[in-house]
Structure 1
Amino acid sequence: MRRIISALVAVAVILGSLAGVRPIQVRAEEVTASSVHAAIKTGWNLGNSLDAHHKKSMKVGEPNLDHETIWGQPKVTKAQIDYVASLGFNAIRVPVTWYNHTYRDATGTLHIRQEWLARVREVIDYCLADNLYVFMDTHHDKELIYAGVSEEELAQVKSDAASLWREIASYFADADHKLIFESYNEVDNHVKYWQYGEKAARQMNELNQVFVDTVRSTGGKNADRVLMVPTLLDHNSGESLNKFVLPKDSVKDRILVTVHCYSQQYDQAVEGIFSGLESFSKRIGAKVIIGEWGSTTKYAPAQYRGIHAANYVARAAAHGIKCFYWDNGSNYAIVDRTALTCNQDMINAIMNPVAYTSNGSEIVFDGSDYLYKTLDQTTGAIKEDKSWGTILLTTDGSGNIPVAEGSSNFYVQLVRSGSMATQAIHYIYMFDAGGKLLSKVNDWGGFTEKTVEIPAGCAYIRIGVNSAQTATSKAAYEAAFASGEIVGYLKFR
């Protein structure tokens, strides 16, 4: 029967053509945001390749194709993409930096060099040939795309965003529907570096709308192609989610939303992030993808790296969230793109995810659990810090945190937002019962989470928090603890 129907359709097409009538177009099954989200098992990022760039290496008047390998990764080949697909990934994110391959004409209009478009298309075609879902973005283009500025400056940003996506979308208008365009990557707040701002969040929504409108205007398969848009800074919590508005679209169910999340929590403690994203997804009526996550190669203890990865993917999936592993070929690497080998334990963890639940109580530091003092960076002794403002997380106001009996390591995290967005953990000092300093972590840049091994004989620890960018008063800390803008967590294990 199928052969008879096919023959009749063929005859109808021929007769219609002979009669000058346009043949009926039989459309393949529609590719929607929901169908793409459901089909994705897990994704992988081709990081530090097409997004690599260096201002000093730019050659005026040339296409700068040598940028692709400037961050230490080999030139992307079909064999590399084939290998990634063979590991079980059925989706790939291809970060692309465009700014370094653009120029302006006499009118000031932005254009992309054709040589770069052709190279990007070559790599995208490698991915599509392996039947992968492909997410292509604008990455490290902060010279062009940013928020939190005056309306006059925003008008130029919008114009450049439209020019950029008009040329990208037009060039890829005939590409398979498995190619998904991602508007922007980690759009920053120009006024408050890497911090939330209400104006920036509103302008982020406007930029996402410019993206959708521009892509749709180019026609072809872009008329109903699935698109993906981020929150401000790709933040995964707080006001960046609350103020996000899904762009209006001319076609139904074609928009995904992305955030980034590099939490190194390895157990049930990560649930709060994913449950919040699940609620966010339901509120906006769109599926959520974590476009970047990863388990650092220096995960400590080392044996927990695979546990973290498996737990992360499993718990995200339980909340309806799909994840794309950030592989930059260095501190998050799981695939060697030169040797075409992999960290098989990590691949197994990602492909066969299992949630991990740890035992032991978690200490939550609230407004009553800190001391407004700092540490002597040589000895770890507690001292006054009235000029800058440091707090020591503590359970009894002494500045000391007793080590739980039988523990070999501990995980510490600082959750911050709003006025506390630049706060970080800078000091972790560990002492024996007699007060002798055994080991320390002293990080000028600071961090928001870390797993630390406990040296033999350690009886107590001291953890110092401050901002490397601004002085903080005691009153500011008190207000932030009261509002929930800063919370500390500690778990011995």
Structure 2
Amino acid sequence: MKKNFTQFAQLYTKGFLFVIMVCGLLMSVSVKAQLSTAQHIASKMKIGWNLGNTLEATWVPRNTFGTTTQAAIDSVKAKGFNTVRIPVAWFYHSDTITSKIDAAWLSNVKKVVDYCIKDSMYVIINAHWDKGWLENRVNTANKDIVNKRQQAYWTQIATYFKDYNDHLLFAGANEPNVTDATSMAVLLSYHQTFINAVRATGGNNSSRTLIIQGPSTDIDKTNKLMNTLPVDQIEGRLMVEVHYYTPWNFCGMNGDASWGKMFYYWGKGNHSVTETSRNATWGEESDMDKLLGLMKTKYIDKGIPVIIGEYGAFRKKLSPPSDQTLHNASIEYYYRYFMKSATSKGFITYCWDTGGLFNFTSGRMNDRVVLNAIVQGAKDVTTGTAMLRDNAIEIYPNPFRSTICLKTNHPEDINRVAVYDMMGHQVETVEHAAIKSPLDLGSSLKPDLYIVQVNEFNWTRSFKVLKMQ
């Protein structure tokens, strides 16, 4: 009996030790399981897009939840984008005293995140302008209350999305208004609070990639003022964010001001010879390369990925004698050159869109010219060419009496066909969706001399035609 008991005790002890060892091994595996590094994620992120003026909209009633659809996100993915930045308002959808975020709002944000995750896209959710609770209060007077809110919001957000994998990234702010070293120190405290709050929730958040905004997300300020990053408990999980709307006179200015006039024309080959006062005088290709190069040297070359969370140049509607066609060509060239320059330097870029590029409900492409420029600009880096496939154009008969026929071997590459009279007035237009081959033109025109202008992605061809009696 004693022998049997001893054998049983020995077996029990060995079994117990085995269980302990197995549990310890499993715990060790669990503890060591981490999400990918920021550099690894950056290598997977290609072309990015913003769902702008939607989840960050504070100019609509609080119970009117901005959103999009799976169809819209599918369309963005199909065009070649694989990462989405979702600007979000949290202050507007929370108790301003307790900082408790509305449960229904968290659910709405999750719905949009899930649309993107379903398409295997990388997703960034941030804390956007949101009444300026952080962005306009980067100062010592508001430091304590902002840090308190920052802690409360990101604890809730991180907890809610705790189980998402490395396709979800968090960005702690948007465009924090910083002017000097003092406000820069305050901003670093906000970033530190953001990091600490996320990490404290554990799980995947212990190693999730987090994005830190430079002062005002301005490249020059970031280069001069942000000489240290906040402390993170895990290495290699931080990215830096800047924005790019340079020169503002061309990219976003919608009226002349005392400090400067709007630019209509930008880049090599796109300057006007008749309206020289509207040509860009700064911020063109060499300036762009120089500014982007500052961030490459300061961060990217040191293993810290940089996202350009917003960029864009927005088309103006011009009136004669301004040249709308030359302006449009400038916009197209700006996007393409920017994408080539930024991509070649290792940036991840996110074009700003509030519905001008994609319809947020149907997913319809509203501006194929700009979308093609973005995608092709990124391709230019890998292909080393700035040319699309050859597209032969035939126009016949010429002269013509009834209609003239335009024939092309790649009608899908043509963005627009326009007919102008000899005074420069546009008298007929066919947009991309209606272009086919062959395409009949001129049935409603009076006998006269005309110019048929065919706009493809990186070229414009013009043909002089004559309609006879």
Distance 1:66 1:17, change over 3 A: farther
Match of 1:100 among 92, 108, 113: 92
Equivalent of 2:80, from 88, 105, 116?
Answer: 88
Q: Which of 110, 121, 143 is the equivalent residue of 1:121? A: 110
How many residue pairs are counted as aligned between the two chains? 319
Asked if 1 retains the 8 angstrom alpha-carbon contact of 2:72 and 2:358, the reply is: no
Offset from partner CA, 1:376-432 (integer Å, 9 cap, x none): xxxxxxxxxxxxxxxxxxxxxxxxxxxxxxxxxxxxxxxxxxxxxxxxxxxxxxxxx
- For residue 135 of structure 1, what is the aligned residue in structure 2? 124
Give 1:65-84 correspondences, 5 Å limit: 65-68=63-66, 75-84=67-76
| One of 340, 347, 351 as aligned partner of 2:371 | 347
Selected match of 2:359 from 330, 336, 339 = 336
Name which of 289, 305, 317 aligns with 1:271: 289
Q: Distance in 2 between matches of 1:53 and 1:147?
A: 15
Q: CA–CA distance in 2 between the matches of 1:327 and 1:17? A: 56
Q: Which residue of 2 aligns with 1:173?
A: 162
Matched letter for residue 50 of structure 1? L
Whose strand proportion is higher, 1 or 2? 1
The residue that corresponds to 2:330 in the other structure is 304
Per-residue deviation, 1:148: 6.2
* Separation in structure 1 between the aligned mates of residue 136 and residue 232 of structure 2, nearest angstrom: 22
1:258-278 per-residue CA deviation (whole Å, 9 max, x = no partner) reads 000012554632211111121
Larger radius of gyration: 2
Alignment of 1:175-254 (within 5 A): 175-189=164-178, 196-238=179-221, 241-254=224-237
Is the aligned partner of 1:286 residue 2:304? yes
Give the corresponding residue for 2:395.
none
Cα displacement (A) at 1:185: 0.4
Whole-Å separation in 1 of the counterparts to 2:78 and 2:48: 13
Residue 324 of structure 1, CA deviation: 0.6
Tell me if 1:44 matches 2:27. Answer: no
Q: Which amino acid aligns with 1:272?
A: K
- Work out whether residues 112 and 167 of structure 1, in 8 Å CA contact, stay in contact via their aligned partners in 2: yes
CA distance in 1, matches of 2:372, 2:141: 51
Question: How far off is 1:86 after superposition?
Answer: 1.1
CA root-mean-square deviation: 2.9
Structure 1 segment 11-22 matched on structure 2, within 5 A: 21=23
Separation of aligned partners in 1, 2:98 and 2:155: 12
Verify the 8 A CA contact 2:37 2:236 in the aligned structure 1: yes
User: CA, structure 1 residues 128+28, in 2 after alignment: closer, same or farther (shift >3 Å)?
Assistant: farther
Counterpart of 1:303 in structure 2: which amino acid? Answer: A
2:351 aligned counterpart, secondary structure: strand
Contact 1:40 1:322 (8 Å CA) reproduced? yes
Tell me what 2:144 maps to. Answer: 155
Question: Secondary structure in 1 aligned to 2:50?
Answer: strand
Shift of residue 321, structure 1, vs aligned partner: 1.4
2:169 counterpart SS class:
strand
Rounded to whole Å, the distance in 1 between the matches of 2:71 and 2:138 is 44
Distance 1:311 1:171, change over 3 A: same
Matched-pair contact (CA < 8 Å) for 2:139–2:186: no
TM-superposition CA deviations, 1:55-89 (whole Å, max 9, x none): xx54xxxxx23042xxxxxx411111111111110
Once residues 20 and 186 of structure 2 are traced to their aligned partners in structure 1, the CA distance between those partners, rounded to angstroms, is: 53
Contact map agreement 2:69 2:360 (CA 8 A) in 1: no
User: Displacement of 1:43 after TM fit?
Assistant: 0.3
Is the CA contact (8 Å cut-off) linking 1:225 and 1:254 kept in structure 2? yes
CA-CA distance at 1:213 after TM superposition: 0.9
Verify the 8 A CA contact 2:212 2:238 in the aligned structure 1. Answer: yes
TM-score (norm 1): 0.60
The TM-score normalised by the length of structure 2 is 0.63
Alignment check: 8 A CA contact 1:231 1:241 kept: no
Alignment CA distance shift 1:336-1:297 (3 Å): farther
Mark the CA change 1:239 to 1:116 in structure 2 (over 3 Å): closer, same or farther.
closer
| Alpha-carbon distance between aligned partners in 1 of 2:143 and 2:82, rounded to the nearest angstrom | 37
The Cα of 1:244 is off from its aligned counterpart by: 4.1
Structure 1 residues 282 and 336 mapped into 2: Cα distance closer, same or farther (>3 Å)? closer
Question: 2:343 is matched with which residue?
Answer: 317
- CA-to-partner distance for each residue in 1:165-220, whole Å, 9 max, x for gaps? 1111111111122100001001124xxxxxx2221111111111111111101111
| Per-residue deviation, residues 270-315 of structure 1 (Å, max 9, x unmatched) | 2111111212215865111100001313285112222211110111
**Could you tell me which residue of structure 2 aligns to residue 428 of structure 1?**
none
**Separation in structure 2 between the aligned mates of residue 279 and residue 165 of structure 1, nearest angstrom:** 31
Q: Structure 1 or 2: larger helix share?
A: 2
Q: 1:183 to 1:294 in 2, by over 3 A?
A: same
The residue aligned with 1:257 is 240
Confirm or deny: 8 A CA contact 2:46 2:83 kept in the other structure: yes
Aligned 8 A contact 2:72 2:364 in 1: no
Alpha-carbon distance in structure 1 between the residues aligned to 2:155 and 2:307: 24
Does the CA-based 8 Å contact 2:172-2:211 persist in structure 1?
yes
Distance (Å, rounded) in 1 between the aligned partners of 2:216 and 2:140 = 19
SS of the residue 1:252 aligns to: coil
Structure 1: gaps (5+ residues): 1-15, 59-63, 69-74, 190-195, 358-493
Q: Are residues 248 and 284 of structure 1, via their aligned partners in 2, closer, same or farther at CA, if it must alter by over 3 Å?
A: farther
